[in-house]
C-alpha cells in the first residue's frame, strides 16, 4: 500500500536498486526480525513532527518513504550495516523517536531508515563520578525514571521528554526546560561513541576535560545524522535535589520582566526554570491567576541546596520588585509542572484545517524585546496568521532564547503559506542579528536559511561532511549541506 502514496518531496535515485537482495544481506547482520520492507513499518518511519509532514499525512500523502527499516541492537551491527550501505551507495537516515520538528528524520532519498529504539540499554551508572553511559535509542522518560530510581536526575526535560531519545537529544543539540541550572545537552555531554559512514568506530574519553586537540566525538553534537550514527552517550548526572522553591511575578511589560531576569542571572543566580510569557500566552496558560491578568508572567523554579536556593529566591524578589512586579505565588509554577508535557491541542487544530508551528531563536539581552516585536509583526503580516505569541526561556548571562507559537488558517495552498510564514520569521530574525535556531535544530526546513546564518562557515561544515562521508549516504538533504530539489524557499 505504501508504494501507491504520493511522495511529495522524495528525491528519486537512479538506477533502480534491488532492495530485496540488500534486505537478505542485512538480515544476516541483524536477524530476520531486524529488517523490514513492510508498508506499515516504512510509513511509521517516513516522517517526524515537522508540521508540513503532518499536513501531508492528513491528506494521505507521505513526504518520502524508506525502502527498508532496520533495527540494529549493537554498535558492531550499526557498523556492519553502514559498511554494506556504503558498498551499495544506499542512503541511511538514523531515526530516534521522530519527535524532531524540522523534517530531519525524513528519508529524502529513500534507502534505509536505521531505527535505534532497540539500542536502549543503560551501559554504566558511575555513581562516584556522576556519569551515566547509555545507548542512543533510550527513551527520555525511561532515562529519567532509571536515574530517579537510583537517586539521581539527568536534569534534561525537553517538552518532548516522553517521545524522544537520548541519541536524538545529542544529534539535535537539544535543550530542556531546566537548562538554566543543569545546562543544555552540550553542557551535559561527557563523551560519545559514533560510527562513521565507512564503519569506523570513534569515541571520546570519560574524563572531566581534555586538551588534546579538537574533540572529534563532540562533532556529532548537532550533526543530525549527517556525519554518522551515535551509538553510545555518556552524560553528567546530579543527585536528586532535596529542596525546591516555586515563585512567580507579574510585570506590566515584557521589557520590564526581561530587565529583571537579566539582573538576576548576571548577579549569578541559576534558577532551574525561568519562563517569561507575553500577555497572550499568560492569559492562555494561567487564566486563573488574577495578579497576571493583562500582564506578562515570569515563573521561576529553584532547586538544590536549601541555603543556596533561599538566597536565589530573595535575589529574584529584589530584581522583580525593582521593575514594579507583583508577586503571583507558587500556583502558576505548579500549574506549569502539571501541564508541561501536554501537546494535544496542536493535533486538534491541524484537524480543523489550521497550520500550527513553533519557532525558537536566540539573541542577546539588548535585542531580546526588539526581536520579539519584529518577528511577531512579520509573522502577523502573512495573510492567514491569527496568532503569533511568545515566551522566553533558557536564559544566559549574555542573552536568552525566544520561542514563538504560530497558528494560521491559510487562505490557499498550505505549503505556500507555510513557506511564507517561515520566510517572514527567519528574515526578520536574521535582519536583527538573532540565531535562527536555539534548540530544535535545522533538519530539512531550516536548511533553507543556513547559508545566511553561517556565511563561509557553512562551506567549512560541507568540507567536514565530504571528508567523513564522501559518498553522501548519511541523511542526505539535511542541515543545509546540499540543495533539495523539491523543497525550496
Ligand atoms: C511537542 C514537542 C516538543 C519539543 N520540545 C523540545 C524541547 O523542549 N527541547 C528540545 O531541544 N527539543 C524539543 N523538541 C524537538 C525534538 O524533540 C528534539 O529535537 C529531540 O532531540 C529529537 O529526538 P528524537 O529521538 O525524537 O530524534 P528524531 O526526531 O528521530 O531525529 C532527529 C534527528 O537526529 C538524527 N538522529 C536521531 N538519532 C540519532 C543517532 N543515534 N545518531 C545520529 N543521528 C541521530 C535523525 O537522523 C534526525 O536528523 C520538541 C518536539 C516536539 C514535537
Cβ atoms within 10 Å of 412's Cβ, excluding its own: 9
Cβ(144) – ligand 1 distance below 6 Å = no
* Residue partners of 302: CB distance under 8 A and separation at least 6: 244, 245, 271, 272, 309, 312, 313, 316
Rounded to the nearest whole angstrom, what is the distance from the C-alpha of residue 105 to the centroid of ligand 1? 9
CB of 442 shorter than 6 A to ligand 1: no
Q: Coil, strand or helix: which one is 46?
A: coil
* Nearest Cα residue to 476 out of 102, 114, 8, 92: 92
Residues 6+ apart with CB under 8 A from 279: 294, 295, 296
β pairing state of 152-153 and 385-395: unpaired
C-alpha cell at 139: 527513551
Q: Is 447 in the pocket of ligand 1 (CB under 6 A)?
A: no
C-alpha radius of gyration, the chain, whole number: 23
Which of 117, 132, 155 marks a domain boundary? Answer: 117
Is residue 277, in this structure, part of any structural domain at all?
yes
Domain C-terminal end among 318, 339, 360: 339
Per DSSP, the three-state class of 286 is coil
CB atoms within 10 A of CB 47: 22
User: What CATH number is attached to the domain comprising 303?
Assistant: 3.30.70.3450
pLDDT score recorded for residue 209: 95
321 alpha carbon to ligand 1 midpoint, in Å?
Answer: 38
SS3 296: strand
- Whether 451 maps to a domain, the answer reads no
What is residue 450's three-state secondary structure? helix
Pocket flag, ligand 1, residue 168 (CB < 6 Å): yes
Q: Which three cell numbers stand for residue 404?
A: 514563538
Residue 54 lies in a domain: yes
Q: Which residues on neighbouring strands pair with residue 401, listed in sequence order? A: 362, 393
Residue 463 belongs to some domain of the structure: no
> Is the domain of 250 the same as that of 332?
yes
Q: Is 99 in the pocket of ligand 1 (CB under 6 A)?
A: yes
381: which 3 cell numbers? 503580516
Contact 243, 303 (CB under 8 A): yes
CATH number where 102 lies? 3.30.43.10
The protein residue with its alpha carbon nearest to ligand 1, atom 45, reads 225
Q: The domain that contains 212 carries what CATH number?
A: 3.30.465.10
Decide whether any atom of ligand 1 lies within 6 Å of the 158 Cβ: yes
On whether the CB atoms of residues 397 and 274 are closer than 8 A, the answer is no
287 and 332 together in one domain:
yes
3-state secondary structure of 165: strand
Ligand 1: residue of 49, 99, 103, 156 to mutate (most ligand atoms within 8 A of CB) is: 99
Q: What is the C-alpha separation between 27 and 35, in angstroms, rounded?
A: 6
Q: Would 464 be classed as within a structural domain? A: no
What residues contact 464, with CB distance under 8 A and at least 6 apart?
A: 219, 227
Question: CB within 8 A of 225, min separation 6: which ones?
Answer: 93, 94, 104, 105, 171, 474, 475, 478
Which positions ≥6 away from 482 have C-beta within 8 Å?
472, 476
Ligand 1 in reach of 230 Cβ (< 6 A):
yes
| Residue ID of nearest Cα to ligand 1 atom 27 | 168
Domain that holds residue 283: 243-339
CATH code of 418's domain? 3.30.300.330
Q: How far is the CA of 446 from the centre of ligand 1 (A)?
A: 14
In a domain, residue 201? The reply is yes
* Closest ligand 1 atom to 475 CA: 47
Task: Walk along the chain (489 residues) and give the pLDDT tens digit of each residue.
Answer: 677 788 999 998 777 789 999 999 999 999 999 999 999 999 999 999 999 999 999 999 999 999 999 999 999 999 999 999 999 999 999 999 999 999 999 999 999 999 999 999 999 999 999 999 999 999 999 999 999 999 999 999 999 999 999 999 999 999 999 999 999 999 999 999 999 999 999 999 999 999 999 999 999 999 999 999 999 999 999 999 999 999 999 999 999 999 999 999 999 999 999 999 999 999 999 999 999 999 999 999 999 999 999 999 999 999 999 999 999 999 999 999 999 999 888 889 999 999 999 999 999 999 999 999 999 999 999 999 999 999 999 999 999 999 999 999 999 999 999 999 999 999 999 999 999 999 999 999 999 999 999 999 999 999 999 999 999 999 999 999 999 999 999
Residue to substitute in 91, 140, 158, 392 for testing ligand 1 pocket (most ligand atoms within 8 angstroms of CB): 158
Same domain, residue pair 251 and 218: no
Write the DSSP assignment of 306-343 as a string of letters. Answer: HHHHHHHHHHHHHHHHHTT-EE--SHHHHHHHHHTT--
Q: Element (H or E) spanning 82, and its range?
A: helix 75-87
Together in a domain, 67 and 46: yes
Tell me the C-alpha distance between 232 and 238, whole Å. Answer: 20
* 42, 105: one domain: yes
Residue 488 makes CB contacts below 8 A (sequence gap 6+) with: 448
Query: Within this chain, do residues 231 and 317 fall inside the same structural domain, yes or no?
Result: no
Is the dihedral angle over the CA atoms 222, 228, 230, 235 positive or is it negative? Answer: negative
Residues 172 and 229 grouped into a single domain: yes
Distance between CA atoms of 287 and 283, rounded to whole angstroms? 5
CB 356 within 8 A of CB 350: yes
Kindly give the distance from the C-alpha atom of residue 59 to the centroid of ligand 1, in angstroms, as a whole number: 24
Q: Answer with the one of 283, 312, 339 that is the final residue of a domain.
A: 339
Q: How many domains are contained in the chain?
A: 4
Q: Is the bond preceding 71 in cis, omega lying within 30 degrees of 0?
A: no
> Three cell numbers at 278?
507575553
Q: Are residues 271 and 250 in the same domain?
A: yes
Looking at ligand 1, which residue's alpha carbon is closest to its atom 32?
100
pLDDT of residue 15: 74
H helix and E strand count, the chain: 17, 18
Say yes or no: 113 and 9 in one domain: yes
Is 227 in contact with 464 (CB distance < 8 Å)?
Answer: yes
Which is nearest to 327 in space by CA: 340, 311, 314, 312? 314
Pocket test for ligand 1, best of 82, 96, 178 (most atoms within 8 A of CB): 96
Residue with the nearest Cα to atom 15 of ligand 1?
Answer: 100
Amino acid at each position: 500500500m505504501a508504494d501507491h502514496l504520493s511522495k511529495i518531496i522524495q528525491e528519486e535515485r537512479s538506477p533502480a536498486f534491488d532492495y530485496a537482495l540488500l534486505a537478505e544481506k542485512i538480515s544476516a547482520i541483524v536477524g530476520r526480525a531486524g529488517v523490514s520492507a513492510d508498508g506499515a513499518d516504512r510509513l511509521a518511519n517516513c516522517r517526524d513532527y515537522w508540521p508540513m509532514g503532518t499536513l501531508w499525512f492528513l491528506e494521505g500523502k507521505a513526504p518520502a518513504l524508506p525502502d527498508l527499516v532496520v533495527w540494529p541492537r549493537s554498535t558492531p551491527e550499526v557498523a556492519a550495516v553502514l559498511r554494506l550501505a556504503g558498498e551499495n551507495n544506499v542512503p541511511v537516515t538514523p531515526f530516534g523517536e521522530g519527535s524532531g520538528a524540522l523534517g530531519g528524520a525524513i528519508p529524502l532519498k529513500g534507502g534505509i531508515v536505521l531505527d535505534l529504539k532497540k539500542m536502549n540499554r543503560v551501559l554504566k551508572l558511575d555513581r562516584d563520578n556522576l556519569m551515566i553511559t547509555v545507548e542512543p535509542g533510550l527513551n527520555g522518560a525511561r532515562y529519567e525514571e532509571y536515574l530517579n530510581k537510583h537517586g539521581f536526575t539527568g536534569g534534561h526535560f525537553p517538552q518532548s521528554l516522553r517521545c524522544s531519545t537520548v541519541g536524538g537529544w545529542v544529534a539535535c543539540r537539544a535543550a530542556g526546560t531546566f537548562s538554566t541550572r543543569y545546562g543544555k545537552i552540550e553542557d551535559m555531554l561527557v563523551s560519545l561513541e559514533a560510527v562513521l559512514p565507512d564503519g569506523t568506530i570513534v569515541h571520546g574519553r570519560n574524563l572531566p576535560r581534555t586538551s588534546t586537540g579538537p574533540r572529534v566525538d563532540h562533532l556529532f553534537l548537532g550533526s543530525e545524522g549527517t556525519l554518522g550514527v551515535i551509538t553510545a552517550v555518556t552524560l553528567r548526572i546530579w543527585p536528586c535535589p532535596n529542596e525546591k522553591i516555586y515563585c512567580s511575578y507579574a510585570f506590566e511589560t515584557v521589557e520590564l520582566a526581561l530587565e529583571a531576569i537579566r539582573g538576576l542571572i548576571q548577579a549569578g543566580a541559576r534558577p532551574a526554570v525561568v519562563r517569561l510569557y507575553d500577555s497572550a500566552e499568560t492569559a492562555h496558560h494561567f487564566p486563573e491567576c488574577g495578579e497576571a491578568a493583562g500582564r506578562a508572567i515570569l515563573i521561576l523554579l529553584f532547586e538544590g541546596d536549601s541555603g543556596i536556593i533561599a538566597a536565589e529566591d530573595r535575589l529574584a524578589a529584589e530584581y522583580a520588585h525593582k521593575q514594579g512586579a507583583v508577586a503571583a505565588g507558587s500556583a502558576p509554577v505548579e500549574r506549569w509542572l502539571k501541564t508541561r508535557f501536554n501537546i494535544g491541542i496542536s493535533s486538534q487544530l491541524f484537524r480543523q484545517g489550521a497550520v500550527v508551528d513553533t519557532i525558537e531563536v536566540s539573541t542577546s539581552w539588548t535585542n531580546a524585546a526588539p526581536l520579539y516585536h519584529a518577528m511577531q509583526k512579520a509573522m502577523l503580516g502573512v495573510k492567514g496568521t491569527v496568532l503569533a505569541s511568545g515566551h522566553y526561556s533558557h536564559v544566559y548571562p549574555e542573552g536568552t532564547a525566544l520561542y514563538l507559537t504560530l497558528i494560521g488558517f491559510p487562505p490557499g495552498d498550505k505549503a505556500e503559506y507555510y513557506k511564507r510564514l517561515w520566510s517572514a520569521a527567519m528574515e526578520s530574525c536574521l535582519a536583527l542579528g538573532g540565531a535562527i535556531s536555539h534548540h530544535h535544530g535545522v533538519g530539512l526546513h531550516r536548511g533553507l536559511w543556513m547559508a545566511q546564518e553561517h556565511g563561509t562557515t557553512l562551506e567549512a561544515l560541507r568540507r567536514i561532511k565530504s571528508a567523513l562521508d564522501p559518498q553522501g549516504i548519511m541523511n542526505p538533504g539535511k542541515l543545509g549541506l546540499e540543495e533539495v530539489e523539491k523543497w525550496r524557499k
